[in-house]
Amino acid sequence: MRNKSYRRAVTLIGADARSVFARNGENMKRIVVAIFFGLVAGAMCASGAFMAGILTFSAVNLIWVLLNRGVMGFAIGISGLKLHWAWNGIVVGLAVGSIFSYSLFMNVGLSALPVVNFFVNGLFGLMIEFFTTKVFKQPSPAAARA
């Protein structure tokens, strides 16, 4: 009796596993595309900050900006929030980018730069989500479940 129910559980897990693996391949494409556009956003952000004199050019600053935007892309790629794609990008961009804003606050003090950066993070999140979801047609995992 016990062995029979065990087989049943394995069969149910095995049947679900095929659909999970199919979805994981699609999710991995979304994650890779989102990380790529996160790095593109990081390159845009860093070049703008360096050219405007907001940040001094150094390898540490460049890596910090690229890492922050890459992590933002990763978070957008794996996000399972059941929000419209635009709001998903804005919310995740604000949440992940707030780390960068806090770092700016700790380094430059209370000025307009960390506050402006906080809201610009939402715009970069929206941009990453737009290119991931609309241009490259990689819907979020939450949209696939709905």
pLDDT tens by residue, 65-122: 999 999 999 999 999 899 999 999 999 999 999 999 999 899 888 899 999 999 999 9
Report whether 72 contacts 38 (CB < 8 A). yes
Residue 53: DSSP 8-state: T
pTM: 0.80
- Quick one: pLDDT at residue 135? 96
Three-class SS state of 103: helix
